[in-house]
Amino acid sequence: MDRKQFLKLTGLSASALLFANCFIGCDDSGINAPSKVDFTVDLNDANYSSLKDNGSFVVVNGILIAKTVSGSYIAVSAKCTHDGVTVQYQSNQDRIECPAHGSIFLNSGKRQSGPAQKDLVQYKIEMNGNVLRIYS
């Protein structure tokens, strides 16, 4: 192999690697929302007592649970469908946002804007006294 062939092969290989990495960085195939969900959260437990306040949220078992500014509870998958970063409930905007790349989701989990192309999974919530049941 002469020098010209070597440089051409090296350049093609490097280009292929760079091109592949562009797609891997935004690949959402490893972002799986929890399925077969059924657990409870006791609001009297110190770990979850903040959920008694409007505008607060916690992440439990891969699910974001929030008490919205209007006082209703929501539960959606906690990983952004773009890059897997944990999303946050933004009480000042009454929406869910990815802090890494700015994807915005409605409280239902529906994608509103940003690089994310898929909705968050929404889970059902049942309240029994001070215990929230989150299930699919």
**Could you report the per-residue pLDDT of 56-100, keeping only the tens digit for each?**
999 999 999 999 999 999 999 999 999 999 999 999 999 999 999
CATH topology of domain 38-135: Rieske Iron-sulfur Protein (2.102.10)
Over the stretch 10-34, which tens digit does the pLDDT of each residue have?
Answer: 454 444 444 444 444 444 444 789 8
Distance CA 110, CA 5 (A): 51
Whether the pLDDT of residue 45 is over 70: the answer is yes
Identify the band that residue 4 occupies on the pLDDT scale cut at 50, 70 and 90.
low
Q: Where are the domains of the chain?
A: 1-29, 38-135
The answer to whether 81 and 111 are in contact (CB under 8 A) is yes
Tell me the pTM. 0.78
Question: CA 28 to CA 13: how far, in whole Å?
Answer: 25
